[in-house]
């Protein structure tokens, strides 16, 4: 067997874990074409196919799964060894954040952080993908969840609240909805939250919902376009309400079972840039929580 290039194996491991060539190309900072070329080299050298390519992405073949199981841990060990020797780079901070929180809450506040730490290079990855801190690519993540992640530190940033929101275009020329007749209006996303809303605030749940979307950002976009009423997260909806693109229909709100957290491995506490970011972030979160509590009524 010809000698197999380590680069081809690294591309294979990254693509197999990402399940998608586009995501893998972003992680490796290479083009999809370059990654595909490396996979073809690997398959020619091994004389087997390592992936089944389908409309939903990549899935390892039986041979590919075996290869990933045997080779993947070695690349993890290499990354860990290099990271432990290099340590956290004091001049660079790498943070992952959910796209919805990044665009609606974090990014508008970042100029203040960058001005405070002008010598720190801040790298933000806006993605819902699970962060594997063992690979050493990230120092921290902002996540929406129950608050407990195995082997990681987590600190509460702020709670999340839900309230019905709608586009002014949907309400134009119609009588404002009431709690008791909300189920007669077009509602978006039949998630678990809607039944809890009707149980808490009264009214009857509709027999069918207009549409369902897989993420909050798309749901909000559909709401802005007037497709229907959604249970908006106050963090995501507040900028849209303040700009007049959405309207909070009621003063009533409902607490989400999840909240927003800063999540990080214990090693990040030794990173000066992270310590500054953590202090700044918790301060910004406290201001936001305080301003939210001070507001009442439909303005959230």
Residue range 221-232: mean pLDDT, rounded: 94
Answer yes or no: is pLDDT of 296 > 50.
Answer: no
Cβ 292 vs Cβ 269: under 8 Å? no
**What is the pLDDT, as a whole number, of residue 88?**
47
**What is the pLDDT, as a whole number, of residue 60?**
92
Q: Where are the alpha helices (DSSP H) in the chain?
A: 6-18, 21-28, 32-46, 62-86, 99-101, 107-116, 168-171, 193-201, 216-224, 234-242, 272-294
Answer yes or no: is pLDDT of 260 > 90.
Answer: yes
| DSSP states of 83-147 | HHHH---TTEEEEEE-HHHIIIIIHHHHHHHHHH-TTSEEEEEE--SPP-GGGSS-SEEEEEESS
Total-model pTM: 0.66
Residue 86's pLDDT band, with cuts at 50, 70 and 90, is: low
What residue ranges define each of the domains in the chain, with the CATH number in brackets?
6-86 (1.10.10.10), 88-300 (3.40.190.290)
**What is the pLDDT, as a whole number, of residue 134?**
80
Q: What whole-number distance in Å separates Cα of residue 71 and Cα of residue 151?
A: 24
Q: What whole-number distance in Å separates Cα of residue 240 and Cα of residue 292?
A: 15
The average confidence (pLDDT) of the chain is 87
**What is the pLDDT, as a whole number, of residue 89?**
62
User: Which residue, among 199, 202, 249, 200, has the nearest Cα to 223 in the 3D structure?
Assistant: 249
């Amino acid at each position: 067997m010809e000698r197999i290039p380590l680069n081809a194996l690294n591309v294979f491991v990254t693509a197999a874990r990402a399940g998608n060539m586009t995501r893998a190309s972003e992680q490796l900072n290479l083009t999809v074409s370059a990654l595909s070329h490396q996979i073809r080299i690997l398959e020619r050298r091994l004389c087997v196919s390592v992936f089944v390519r389908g409309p939903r992405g990549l899935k390892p073949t039986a041979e590919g799964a075996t290869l990933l199981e045997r080779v993947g841990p070695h690349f993890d060990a290499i990354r860990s060894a290099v990271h432990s020797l290099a340590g956290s780079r004091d001049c660079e901070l790498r943070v992952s954040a959910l796209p919805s929180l990044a665009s609606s809450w974090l990014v508008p506040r970042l100029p203040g952080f960058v001005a405070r730490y002008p010598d720190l290079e801040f790298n933000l990855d806006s993605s819902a993908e699970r962060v594997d801190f063992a690979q050493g690519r990230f120092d921290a993540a902002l996540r929406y969840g129950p608050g407990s992640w195995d082997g990681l530190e987590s600190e509460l940033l702020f709670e999340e609240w839900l309230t019905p929101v709608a586009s002014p275009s949907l309400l134009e020329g119609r009588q404002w909805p009431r709690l008791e007749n909300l189920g007669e209006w077009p509602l978006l996303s039949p998630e678990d939250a809607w039944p809890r809303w009707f149980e808490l605030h009264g009214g009857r749940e509709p027999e069918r919902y207009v549409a369902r979307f897989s993420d909050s950002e798309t749901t909000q976009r559909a709401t802005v376009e007037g497709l229907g009423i959604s249970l908006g997260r106050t963090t995501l909806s507040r900028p849209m309400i303040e700009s007049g693109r959405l309207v909070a229909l009621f003063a009533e709100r409902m607490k989400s079972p999840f909240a927003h957290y800063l999540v990080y491995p214990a090693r990040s506490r030794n990173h000066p840039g992270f310590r500054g970011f953590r202090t700044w972030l918790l301060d910004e979160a406290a201001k936001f929580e305080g301003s939210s509590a001070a507001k009442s009524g439909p303005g959230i």
